[in-house]
Structure 1
Amino acid sequence: MRKPNDTLIDGVHGTSVENSIRLATFDQYRSLLFSIAYRMLGSVADAEDMLQETFIRWQQSCEEKVSSPRAFLVTIISRLCINQLQSARVQREEYVGQWLPEPIVTDLASDPFGIIRVDESLSIAFLVLLERLTPVERAVFLLREVFEYEYAEVASILGQNEANCRQILRRARQHISAMRPRFVASEHKQSDLFERFLSAVRTGEMEGLVALLAEDVELHSDGGGKAIAVPNVVQGAPNVARGILGSLKKFVPENLVRRLALVNGEPGLVNYLDGKPHSVLTIHIAADRIQTIYIVTNPEKLSNVPDLQGDLN
C-alpha cells in the first residue's frame, strides 16, 4: 500500500511543522478513508489514487474553515469516489469478460499499516452485490449501513438532504436485499467447507465436488482479456464442477504452488507461478453449500498480492 509522504508535502505551501501536523492527522484516518474508497471502487489502485488526491486537497485546505478533519476527509474521498465510479462504469462496460473486484490478502503481513478494515462488507461476494447500485446509492448504503453514519452526516457528506438519503438507501436495499445472504457462515464452517472443496478439486472427485455445491451455484472468472478465464458466468452444480476440473487439466500449469490465505477476510487460495501470483480463488457460502466461486487471473488485479515467500517446492 502506498502511503502519503514527503514527496507530496514538498509541493504544498506551509511550514514543515504545519505539514507534519496535517500528515499526522491524515494518517489517523487513513484506515477509514481507504476502507471507504476500496468498498466504493473495488480496486486497490483506484482507492490509493483517491487517498493521494484526498491528501493533496487536505494539505491545500484552509485550516480555519475545517471544523472536523474527519468529516472533511470523508466528504472529499466519498465525492471523489462517486466521480471515479461514474467514469469507471464506462470502462467496465468495455471490459473483456467478467469484471470482479481486486482481491486483497488480508493477513497482518500483507497489511503492516493496519489500513484494511476487515468485516463482512469486505468480502468479494458483498462487493459484487454493490455493483448493482448506482454510485450515489453505493455511497449512501456504505456510509449508512457499513460505516454507521447518521442520516444527517450522510446528507452533509454527499451534498443531499436527509429525505433524499432515506429514499436512496431504501432503493439500494431493495436492489441487493434479494441477493444478500440471510446469515454469515462461521469462520470454522467457511474453513471446513473450503478445505473439503480444495480436496475434491485436487483429487478430481466429480461427485464429491458436486455435493459441496449449491444447486444454483455460479462460477465467476475474471481474466480481463490478459489471462485465461471463463468469459461468461457458469451456472449449476454439474456445469461448475465440470468446468473447474476441466480447466485444471487444460489450462492450469503443473508447477503452480498453492497457498491458503485470507482473501478479503475469508478463506481463499493464492496460486503462484515462479514465485509470482498467478490466480486467486475465493468462495461464498450460503445454506451450508458453496453458492459462488470467484477466480481472478487478470495480472493487473494481482499486483498487490504478495509474492511467494520461502521455498518454492
Structure 2
Amino acid sequence: MKRSVAQLETVFQQYKSLLFSIAYHMLGSVMDAEDCVQEAFLQWYASEEKETIENPKAYLCTLVTRRCIDRLRSAQTQRETYFGLWLPEPLIETTDPSEHSELNESLSLAFLLLLERLSPIERAVFLLRQVFDYDYAEIAAIVGKSAENCRQILHRARRHLPARPTHTPAPHAGQWQVFTQFFQALMNGNMEGLLQVLSDEIMLYSDGGGKVRTVPHPLYGPDQVAHSLLGIQQNVFDVIKVAIRPTVINGQPGLIGYLEERLDEKPGRSQERERKENSKTPGVWYQRVFKKGEVIFAMGLAYADTQIQEIDIIVNPEKLRHIPALAASDNGTIVC
C-alpha cells in the first residue's frame, strides 16, 4: 500500500537521527551530513512514488552510507591539499536532546580524526559494525559486498588504527572537574595549573584551513602545549574581546568562543586601516571582519581519567558556520 506524504514524513523523522549519526561519523562534517540525509530522503521519496519500499530503514541507511562513501572519495583529494591540519567539524550539544539522540555516545573529535586513516569503504564497515552494531549480512547489503568480504575489510581497518575507537562516555562529574581546572588555569594564564591537568602524552591540533592563523603542525607534550595555549590566550585576548561558553562538544566538555567586540568598532581603528594591516599579515586571527556574536573558535577536549590527553582547536570559519551565533539572552558566557 502506497504511503501518504504524512506517513513518509513520519517514517523519515523516525530514522533521521540515526541517518545523521551515520553520515556525521562517516564524513566528520555536520553540514555535509545534513546534506546527505536530505538527499537520501528526496531519493527515497521519489522511489516511493513508483513502488513502496518494504524496509525504509535499511533503504535509507544504504542511501546515506553509499553517498558518504562517494563524498569521502572526492574529499580525500581535497584533504591531501588542505592547508595545515584537517579536523572534523565540531558537533555542539543541542538544546533538544532528541535531535541527535543517536549521538548520545558519539565518537570524540580525537577518534574521528583517527578514522581518517581508513579508506571510505573501511570506514563504513568499521562504523556500521563497531558503532552501530549492524551484523555482517546487513553491512554487506548496505555496502554492496559479501559478508565474508566485510569481515576481511573490518579486520584490515582494525590493523590501520593504533587504538580501537570506542563510544565516548557521557560527560561525568570527574570530566567537568578537570575541565573547570583547565578553564580557570587558561583564563588566569596559570602555567602550573595547566600542567597539572595535561597528560604527559597531551597532543594539540589546530585547524584554520589557511583562513585563520594556526600552528600548522601538531604539538606534543605538556610544556609545549601549555606555552601554546597561553600564547593564544595572551595574543588573541589582547586584540579582541571574546565571550566564551563552556558546552559539550562531541560528547565531552569543551569551549566555544564568540566575538564580543569587533575590531573595527575600536576607537581610531577604521575598516580601511584594518584591511591594509591584514594584507601585510596574512593568516592572522582577524583576517576578516567578524560580526559581533559570531563563533570564532571551538575547542574540543579528550579526557583520560583525571587529565586531558588531546585538545582540538577549530578556527576555520567554514567549519563553524553551523553553530548558531551568540544570543543576546545567553547568560552562560564569560567575557575575556
Could you say which TM-score interval applies, normalised by the shorter chain?
0.7 to 0.9
Aligned to 1:161: 146
Aligned pair in 2 of structure 1 residues 238, 179: CA closer, same or farther (>3 Å)? farther
Aligned to 1:12: none
Aligned pair in 2 of structure 1 residues 241, 39: CA closer, same or farther (>3 Å)? same
Aligned to 2:317: 299
Aligned to 2:294: 276
Aligned pair in 2 of structure 1 residues 44, 290: CA closer, same or farther (>3 Å)? same
Looking at structure 2, the residues matched to 204 and 179 of structure 1 have their Cα atoms a distance apart, in angstroms, of 35
- The letter for the 2-side match of 1:23 is E
Q: CA deviation at 1:75?
A: 0.6
Looking at structure 2, the residues matched to 83 and 143 of structure 1 have their Cα atoms a distance apart, in angstroms, of 16
Query: How many residues matched?
Result: 296
Aligned to 2:268: none
Looking at structure 2, the residues matched to 196 and 226 of structure 1 have their Cα atoms a distance apart, in angstroms, of 31
- The letter for the 1-side match of 2:121 is V
1:29 aligned counterpart, secondary structure = helix
From 155, 158, 161, the counterpart of 1:173: 158
2:161 aligned counterpart, secondary structure = helix
Looking at structure 2, the residues matched to 121 and 27 of structure 1 have their Cα atoms a distance apart, in angstroms, of 20
Alpha-carbon deviations, 1:59-117, whole Å to 9, x = none?
Answer: 121564622111111011100100001101111111111111111211325x6x61352
Q: CA deviation at 1:18?
A: 3.2
2:106 aligned counterpart, secondary structure = helix
Q: CA deviation at 1:203?
A: 1.4
Aligned pair in 2 of structure 1 residues 289, 182: CA closer, same or farther (>3 Å)? farther
- The letter for the 2-side match of 1:297 is V
From 20, 35, 44, the counterpart of 2:6: 20
Aligned to 1:6: none
Aligned to 1:4: none
Aligned to 1:138: 123
CA root-mean-square deviation: 2.3
Q: Which runs of 5+ in 2 are unaligned?
A: 260-291
Q: Does the alignment pair 1:51 with 2:55? A: no
8 Å Cα contact 1:104/1:304 also seen in 2: no
Looking at structure 1, the residues matched to 122 and 315 of structure 2 have their Cα atoms a distance apart, in angstroms, of 29
Q: Return 35-44 or 282-291, whichever deviates more.
A: 282-291
Q: Does the alignment pair 1:83 with 2:70? A: yes
Aligned pair in 2 of structure 1 residues 223, 239: CA closer, same or farther (>3 Å)? same
Looking at structure 2, the residues matched to 311 and 174 of structure 1 have their Cα atoms a distance apart, in angstroms, of 49
Looking at structure 2, the residues matched to 89 and 107 of structure 1 have their Cα atoms a distance apart, in angstroms, of 29
- The letter for the 1-side match of 2:209 is G
8 Å Cα contact 2:168/2:251 also seen in 1: no
Question: Sequence identity of aligned pairs in percent?
Answer: 45
Q: Does the alignment pair 1:196 with 2:191? A: no
From 48, 53, 66, the counterpart of 2:53: 66
8 Å Cα contact 1:98/1:222 also seen in 2: yes
Mapping 1:134-283, distance limit 5 Å: 134-178=119-163, 180=165, 187-252=172-237, 253-273=239-259, 274-283=292-301
- The letter for the 1-side match of 2:301 is I
Looking at structure 2, the residues matched to 122 and 310 of structure 1 have their Cα atoms a distance apart, in angstroms, of 31
2:117 aligned counterpart, secondary structure = coil
Looking at structure 1, the residues matched to 100 and 252 of structure 2 have their Cα atoms a distance apart, in angstroms, of 17
Looking at structure 2, the residues matched to 107 and 148 of structure 1 have their Cα atoms a distance apart, in angstroms, of 25
Q: Does the alignment pair 1:35 with 2:53? A: no
Q: CA deviation at 1:19?
A: 3.1
- The letter for the 2-side match of 1:275 is G
Looking at structure 2, the residues matched to 269 and 116 of structure 1 have their Cα atoms a distance apart, in angstroms, of 21
- The letter for the 2-side match of 1:78 is T
Looking at structure 2, the residues matched to 178 and 169 of structure 1 have their Cα atoms a distance apart, in angstroms, of 14
Q: Which runs of 5+ in 1 are unaligned?
A: 1-14
8 Å Cα contact 1:38/1:47 also seen in 2: yes
- The letter for the 2-side match of 1:190 is Q
TM-score (norm 1): 0.88
Q: Return 17-26 or 52-61, whichever deviates more.
A: 17-26
